[in-house]
Amino acid sequence: MPGFLANGDDYSMNATLFAMMQETCQGNFNRENLALYRYQRYQQSLQDNGNFYFGPLSLLLYGAASFLYELMPNGNHNYAPDLETISSFFGAEQAADGSWFFNNMEKIPDNWTNRKLPYTNTDVTTEILAQYLLHPVLFGGTTGDGSFDAINFGAIKDGKIDSSINAATTACLLYQLSTGQLPSSLNGLITPTVEALTFIATKVSPSFQNLGCPIPLT
């Protein structure tokens, strides 16, 4: 994705991207609008980034997006993922000319009440699937000659996830990606260290085993 490395700045709020998200969502940061925004970012990245890569772990981007309409909404706003609520969490403020900027005051909104039920692993993966399948895109990356090399891994075939996949299968796919020694062509990042893999396996294996996921030996 463009700006992923951000010259080493992985903490500052990007007001340009917030403005783009608001332009798409028009004050309603729900599943449908954020799924469209994720699709737009994919297409922009594919066009502008010669080293574009969208690996299986990119599914987590949809999970993070779901926080805006599942975790952030205010009970005192009828749990609507509205602009007032979301901009407070992001510390985003609109200037008189209509542009957006970071006000250094990202915070939980005043008089905010949280959701009534826990947001479980199954809930998150259900939303990941729901967003992705609204605007399916290929997993893989661009190659030197300008073509696109789709990948195959687990439930991903020829760069695509079949619409018949369920949340449990998706959760298992993400679990396998986070606990296995994967080739760099699949994760696009550094292979997890033994210490990290051991921590993940000991902390999350029991819950994923309950989903029927194959648990790797450690």
pTM summary value: 0.81
Q: Looking at the 3D structure of the chain, how many domains does it have?
A: 1
pLDDT of 177: 67
Query: Does a structural domain hold residue 121?
Result: yes
pLDDT of 215: 46
Query: Does a structural domain hold residue 128?
Result: yes
Query: Does a structural domain hold residue 76?
Result: yes
Kindly report, residue by residue over 101-150, the tens digit of the pLDDT: 999 999 999 999 999 999 988 899 999 999 999 999 999 999 877 789 99
Higher pLDDT, 12 or 21: 21
Query: Does a structural domain hold residue 182?
Result: yes
CB atoms within 10 A of CB 32: 14
Give the whole-number percent of the chain exceeding pLDDT 90.
54
Q: Is the pLDDT of residue 209 over 80?
A: no
Residue whose entry in the numeric block shows the structure tokens 């890569």: 53
Structural domain of residue 173, as residue ranges? 15-209
CA 135 remoteness from chain centre: 14
Query: Does a structural domain hold residue 46?
Result: yes
| Contact between 158 and 150 (Cβ < 8 Å) | yes
CATH code, 189: 1.10.489.10
Kindly report, residue by residue over 189-207, the tens digit of the pLDDT: 444 444 544 444 444 444 4
CA nearest neighbour of 186 among 173, 200, 199: 173
Query: Does a structural domain hold residue 176?
Result: yes
Query: Does a structural domain hold residue 6?
Result: no
Query: Does a structural domain hold residue 145?
Result: yes
Kindly report, residue by residue over 91-103, the tens digit of the pLDDT: 999 999 999 999 9
